[in-house]
């Protein structure tokens, strides 16, 4: 079955540091890939997505590139802010279905 | 405003006392789903619904029931809650007209079963 593996957290960074959160996946079809963010006390919000190989999703300074050859969708940001502190979830949706398969989430803590 | 609402947001109950968590969306979405979030386990799908009167089990359906009598509502029913159902629950919805549409999540319901 489909699965998503994310690096374990927490990831602790100082403000303006570079961020990478690794995500790899296993899927039988041609999935769409997503990053969701969960701020403290809130539900999940879509951060970015990519629907086919080599697509780059981007939003709010975050980027991720769909790499089919390495089955990866790593999240990056060049300069994090304290307000980026949240839990980040990588997810996939296999072609033809609406069910999302989530990774376990990675907590990011950014200090001033 | 397009949104998914859940009620209640917080609930403390006792073992065996039936409860219902409501979920409603105002986006005319066909697809709705329930997840539970537990530390170290991420989000796991409980049940989902592709449309009215169409529901199916997710990864962890034991101890839960759902119904989809109307397109906008998708309640989660715990007939006899147990402490291992203490968790944070999320409802989500999306359109099926495009296979890559975003899932919209509700704010969550924190349930404690004593």
Query: Could you give the dihedral angle defined by the CA atoms of residues B22, B5, B108 and B63, in that order, rounded to the nearest 10 degrees?
Result: 20
Residues B58 and B34: beta-carbon distance below 8 Å: yes
Q: With an 8 Å Cβ cutoff, are B43 and A105 in contact? A: yes
Q: Judge whether A74 is closer than 8 Å to chain B, CB to CB.
A: no
The pLDDT-based confidence of A96 (bands split at 50, 70, 90) is: low
Q: Identify the residue among B88, B103, B106 best suited for mutation to test binding to A, counting A beta carbons within 10 A and taking the highest.
A: B103
- Tell me the nearest-neighbour CA distance from B79 into chain A, angstroms: 25
Quick: pLDDT tens for A54-73. Answer: 999 999 999 999 999 999 99
Q: With an 8 Å Cβ cutoff, are B107 and A42 in contact? A: yes
Distance CA B30, CA A40 (A): 29
Distances (CA, A) of B105 to A1, A13, B13: 24, 28, 24
- Tell me the nearest-neighbour CA distance from B73 into chain A, angstroms: 17
Q: What is the pLDDT of residue B96?
A: 72
Q: Which is nearest to B93 in space by CA: B1, B5, B12?
A: B5
Q: With an 8 Å Cβ cutoff, are B31 and A98 in contact? A: yes
Distance CA A97, CA B26 (A): 22
Q: Judge whether A105 is closer than 8 Å to chain B, CB to CB.
A: yes
Quick: pLDDT tens for B23-82. Answer: 999 999 999 999 999 988 889 999 999 999 999 999 999 999 999 999 999 999 999 999
């Amino acid at each position: 079955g489909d699965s998503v593996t994310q690096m374990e957290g927490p990831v602790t960074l100082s403000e303006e540091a570079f961020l990478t959160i690794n995500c790899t996946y296993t899927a039988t079809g041609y999935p769409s890939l997503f990053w969701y963010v969960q701020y403290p006390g809130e539900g999940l919000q879509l951060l970015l997505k990519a629907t086919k190989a080599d697509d780059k999703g981007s939003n709010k300074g975050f980027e991720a590139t769909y790499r089919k050859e390495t089955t990866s969708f790593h999240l990056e940001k060049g300069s994090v802010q304290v307000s980026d502190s949240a839990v980040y979830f990588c997810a996939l949706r296999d072609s033809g279905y609406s069910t999302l398969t989530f990774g376990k989430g990675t907590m990011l803590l950014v200090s001033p | 405003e397009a949104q998914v609402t859940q009620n209640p947001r917080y609930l403390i109950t006792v073992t065996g006392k039936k409860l219902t968590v409501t979920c409603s969306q105002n986006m005319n979405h066909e697809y709705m789903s329930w997840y539970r979030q537990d530390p170290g386990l991420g989000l796991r799908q409980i049940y989902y619904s592709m449309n009215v009167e169409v529901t199916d089990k997710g990864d962890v359906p034991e101890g839960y029931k759902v119904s989809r009598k109307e397109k906008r509502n998708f309640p989660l029913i715990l007939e006899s809650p147990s402490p291992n159902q203490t968790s944070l629950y999320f409802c989500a919805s999306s359109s099926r007209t495009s296979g890559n549409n975003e899932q919209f999540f509700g704010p969550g319901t924190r349930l404690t079963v004593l």
